Chain A
Amino acid sequence: MNATLKAAIAGAVAATLGTMSAHAADSITVVSWGGAYTKSQVEAYHKPFTEKTGISVISEDYNGGIAEIKAQVEAGNVTWDVVDVELSDAVRACDEGLAEVIDMSILPPAPDGTPATEDFIAGTLDVECAVPTIIWSTIFAYDSENMGDKAPTTIADFFDLEAFPGKRGMRRTPKANLEFALMADGVPADQVYEVLNTPEGVDQAFAKLDTIKSEVIWWEAGAQPPQLLADGEVAMTTAYNGRIFNAVAAEQKPFNIVWDGQVWDMDLWIIPKGAPNKEAALEFVKFSTDTQRLADQASWISYGPARQSSTPLIGTFATDESIAMGPQMPTAPENFKNALQNDFEFWADHQDELNERFNAWLAAN
């Protein structure tokens, strides 16, 4: 593609996406998902970082995906320094040269001297451009006050309209939903992607989704599902576990999480290629992914730290000391019994066709 053409189009996209923000040299722009999640990062990373280095951190929100990063990089007008992305997006950004390669040996070791490469949960440092921060999970939750005498306990219950009538909230994407459908249809967690890799498996997943399609309300931003539950618009909804936790802990909502069949994933920092303050951005990444910082974040939101050495340091909820954070983590043994890790390679390979099929499926009445 010719360079000016690309730059012009990328520039137009960047402009329409509203990313043209000014920045000063003594500050960095850190982009994340907003809401309770960004708050946890501001408290655990941004504030102490500014205190330590004097570099102020400008926090921006986005809705995920690498479209804006691509637009900025190709237009040669990068305004973001650090971005919080999902694993599959980190891999894609790295493969397509949209992110700076990070030398993992600069990451600080654990307090007991274990090097970072061994301290991070196995396999999480494999993407050469990204440093993981949290383990998060897509679960489903319900409002216990609206549920009657019987409460759902398994992922199959989510798809059971007879036993649990009412609307369902689901994220408007095939990702995680197809996995839920298969697990609800009796496929064991460790075989989900094997089955999903066959045309029959995809058919099976869509057939299962068909059974609740008429009752589904689709959401897109992570802040929506707790709102849908609170408004009584849905009886149950899939959601990010941290959002539900915060609604329960900070706003005393009577929500319950069902951990069965949870699909867990990671969030990672990447530095877009050509970031304006690359040095400071690297400092920030190093600082925010040390053992203590990761453990601190876990006291603001129930996402598990990506370092093993952080786990024993997890304390209580920042604004309510009666809530121990350990059992709230997706990785807590009690919650982790029937868990599935999102397979980024599967999604990288099949997202185009599955998105098309999902969109066609949605559009069909």
Chain B
Amino acid sequence: MTDVSYDRTLADGVKPPEKHEEAPPAAPLTAADGTPLKKKLAITMRRARMRAFLLTAPLLVFLMVFFVVPIGQMLFLSVHNPTFADAMPRTTEALAEWDGSEIPGEDIFALLVEDMREARADRTIGRVATRMNYEVPGTRSLFTSTGRKAARLEPPFKEALIDADEDWGSLEVWAAMKRVSSTMTGSFYLAALDRQVNVDGEIVMQDENRQIYVPLFWRTFWMSALITVLCMLLAYPVAYLLSTLPLKYSNLLMILVLLPFWTSLLVRTTSWIAMLQTQGVINDLMVFFRIIGDDNRIQMMFNQTGTIIAMTHILLPFMILPLYSVMKTIPPSYMRAARSLGATPLTAFIRVYFPQTLPGIAAGTLLVFILAVGYYITPALVGGQSGQLISNLIAFHMQRSLNWSLAAALGGLLLAAILILYWLYNKLVGIEKLKFG
């Protein structure tokens, strides 16, 4: 990455102030029009800065509108859910006063019925029911069916409601209603960590057979790490060849690296399906050459293996290119010098060559890992059931279950994890040392 101030001076043809010129002179230097040079310089510099800022303004606006704001809104959505409070205003207000020790009295029940009648008329009762169902599974129909009956209910409402469905007499339901009536909520983050609030208000683990997100986060991270390591092992020799072969061959090799890079992701993924599936090219060849029997075809697709192979291939250029750009700058004479001073090829490589490629390795691993953690299409297509990553569950909640708040919370956790990783990386390697190309 280029230094910004260098760019600016290039763009305007103004030289940056040099230190020795700023040393206090005996008499103030003046420009041609008589203003002190120092002041003049400051004005020119400010103008240059303004111009530079205006040049980057479109990008800034673009980033704000299409990147920062939507992500901010999405994160906000993960903690902000006013569905219940909007549709059931009276109950919400009354529940704020309720202490939660026992089933509320007739007055709150009456407000609830009134709210339900209105919500039913406005057709918002379904949203309330859906929101409640996230907290206490099975309560959706409690709201929708009672909503249908609400218009016909007669006081005393407490008895009438409990009569209509005995769940209205359950403290768990009322405690959950109090929780969802608050517009700011952490319950989606709890759900995203396989946790929930029990009837006593304590945070407990989700039932074991419903724990899905934490294991998936782990899987996402270890698979991404594995893919990153595989990419590095494969990319290092290729990048070395690219940077040392004569131009004639290295250009050809570069095209071989770039061609798949330019090919559509979907095409590459689907080709891997054709190659690796049980009736695919590789299995067919192995059967043909009698390496395996026809009924022992190897399952390489629609599982973790498939995801790892396809993603390693797709992300490989992101490792090769930064490595190549770093290796290109290492003079071959260093290695020759090391050898002439008596180092074995291995020692020369480990002590002289390898340390100089570290910035490229650091950049490549960071790039590949972050891309892998958020990968969606490839695992969706080739992952089968065991190769799914957390992004596939986010997509599921965006598109299928419509629980956008949970999707936002999962995305928020992923973002937080990557930021922590970035921070760690900065501590260990130093971001300013990275070279992306």
- The chain A residues found within 8 Å of chain B, CB to CB, are 1, 5, 8-9, 12-13, 17, 65-67, 70, 92, 94-97, 206, 217-218, 231-233, 345, 348-353, 355-357, 359-363, 365
Bound state CA distance, A338 and B210, in angstroms? Answer: 32
Q: A363 vs B218: C-alpha distance in the bound complex, in angstroms?
A: 12
> Do A96 and B386 have beta carbons less than 8 Å apart?
no
CA distance A135 to B399 in the complex (A): 26
> How many whole Å from B231's CB to the nearest CB in chain A?
24
| Chain A residues within an 8 Å CB radius of B396 | 355, 359
> Are A5 and B76 within 8 A (Cβ)?
yes
Stretch in B108-116, B131-139, B320-328 touching the partner = B131-139
| Nearest-CB residue, chain A, relative to B215 | A363
Partner of B134, one of A95, A231, A352: A352
Chain A residue at minimum C-beta to C-beta distance from B69: A8
Residues from chain B with a CB closer than 8 A to the CB of A353 are 137-138, 210
**What's the nearest-Cβ distance from chain A to residue B385, in Å?**
4
Is A348 a contact of B140 with CB atoms below 8 Å? yes
Looking at B80, B386, B388, B400, which has the most chain A CB atoms within 10 Å of its CB? B400
Given contact pairs A95-B129, A356-B212, A363 touches B388 in the complex (Cβ within 8 A): yes
- Looking at the complex, which of B5-13, B40-48, B119-127 is the stretch in contact with chain A? B119-127
Out of B141, B278, B302, which one reaches A348, CB within 8 Å?
A: B141
| Per-residue contact bits, chain B 197-234, to A (CB 8 Å; 1 contact, 0 not) | 00000000000011110011001000000000000000
Q: Is the CB of B279 within 8 A of A233?
A: yes
Report B28 CB to chain A, min CB distance, Å.
55
A13–B403 alpha-carbon span in the complex (Å): 13
Interface flag for B144 (CB, 8 Å): yes
A360 pairs with B385, CB closer than 8 A: no
Cα distance A92–B126 in the bound complex, in angstroms: 7
- Does the CB pair A9–B126 fall under 8 Å? no
Additional A-B contact list (12), CB under 8 Å, known A5-B76, A8-B70: A1-B86, A5-B77, A8-B69, A17-B399, A66-B402, A67-B398, A95-B129, A350-B137, A353-B138, A356-B210, A359-B212, A363-B215
Contact A95 to B216, CB < 8 A, known contacts A8-B70, A348-B141, A350-B138: no
Q: A9-B404, A13-B398, A352-B133 are in contact. Are A97 and B388 (CB under 8 A)?
A: no
- The reply on B104 being an interface residue by CB < 8 A is no
| B130 at the binding interface (Cβ < 8 Å) | yes
Nearest CB of A to B392, in Å: 9
Q: Tell yes or no: B74 within 8 A of A by CB.
A: yes
B386 cross-chain contacts in A, Cβ below 8 A: 363, 365
Cβ A361 vs Cβ B209 within 8 A = yes
How far, in Å, is A318 (CB) from chain B's closest CB?
A: 34
User: Can you report 10 residue pairs joining A to B where beta carbons are below 8 Å apart?
Assistant: A66-B402, A92-B126, A95-B144, A96-B130, A349-B133, A357-B210, A360-B212, A362-B388, A363-B215, A363-B219
Chain B residues touching A, majority SS = helix
The answer to whether A94 touches B140, judged by C-beta atoms less than 8 angstroms apart, is no
Residues in A whose Cβ lies below 8 Å from that of B215: 360, 363
Residue ID in chain B nearest A93 by CB atoms: B126
> Are A67 and B399 within 8 A (Cβ)?
yes
A1 to B86, CA, bound (A): 8
Q: Is B362 an interface residue (CB 8 A)?
A: no
Chain A residues near B76 (CB, 8 Å)? Answer: 5
* A349 close to B123 (CB less than 8 A): no
In whole angstroms, what is the CA distance A59 to B69 when docked? 35
Enumerate B33-64 residues with CB–CB distance to A below 8 Å. Answer: none
Contact A351 B127 (CB under 8 A): no
CB distance from B222 to the nearest CB of A (A): 14
Task: Place the interface of chain B in its size category.
Answer: 35 or more
- Please tell me which one of the listed residues B73, B210, B302 contacts residue A360 in the complex, with CB atoms under 8 A apart: B210
> A5 with B73: in contact, given A350-B138, A363-B388 (CB under 8 Å)?
yes
From B70, B124, B212, contact of A363 by CB (8 A) = B212
In the bound complex, CA of A152 to CA of B41 (Å)? 90
User: With an 8 A cutoff between CB atoms, is B146 at the interface?
Assistant: no
Contact between A94 and B385, CB atoms less than 8 A apart? no
Q: How far is the CB of A120 from chain B (nearest CB, A)?
A: 20
Least distance between B431 CB and chain A CB atoms (Å): 30
| Residue in B122, B133, B216 whose beta carbon sits within 8 Å of that of A97 in the complex | B122
Closest A residue to B124 using CB positions = A97
A1 x B80 contact (CB < 8 A):
yes
Bound Cα distance from A115 to B378, whole angstroms = 52
A231 to B77, CA, bound (A): 45
| B137 x A363 contact (CB < 8 A) | no
CB distance from B274 to the nearest CB of A (A): 13
Interface assignment of B373: CB less than 8 Å from any CB of chain A: no
- Assess whether B212 is in contact with A8, with CB atoms less than 8 Å apart: no
- Chain A residues near B122 (CB-CB < 8 A): 97
The 9 closest A-B pairs by CB, nearest first: A95-B126, A97-B123, A96-B126, A353-B137, A360-B212, A362-B385, A67-B399, A349-B140, A356-B210
Q: Which residues of A contact B374 (CB under 8 A)?
A: none
Shortest beta-carbon distance from A356 to chain B in Å: 5
Q: Which residues of B contact A361 (CB under 8 A)?
A: 209
Contact of B144 among A348, A359, A363 (CB under 8 A): A348
CB-based contact B133/A1 at 8 Å: no
Collect the chain A residues with CB atoms within 8 Å of residue B403's CB: 352
Contacts of A12 in B (CB 8 A): 70
Contact partners of B210 in chain A: CB under 8 A: 353, 356-357, 360
Q: In the complex, which residues of chain B have a beta carbon less than 8 angstroms from the beta carbon of A345? A: 141, 145
Q: CA separation between A9 and B210, bound complex, in Å?
A: 28
Chain B residues within 8 Å of A1, by CB: 77, 80-83, 86
Contact (Cβ within 8 A) B138 A9: no
Q: How far is the CB of A274 from chain B (nearest CB, A)?
A: 13
List the A side residues contacting B385 at CB < 8 Å: 218, 362-363
B393, CB-defined interface residue at 8 Å = yes
A349 contact from B138, B209, B278, Cβ within 8 A: B138
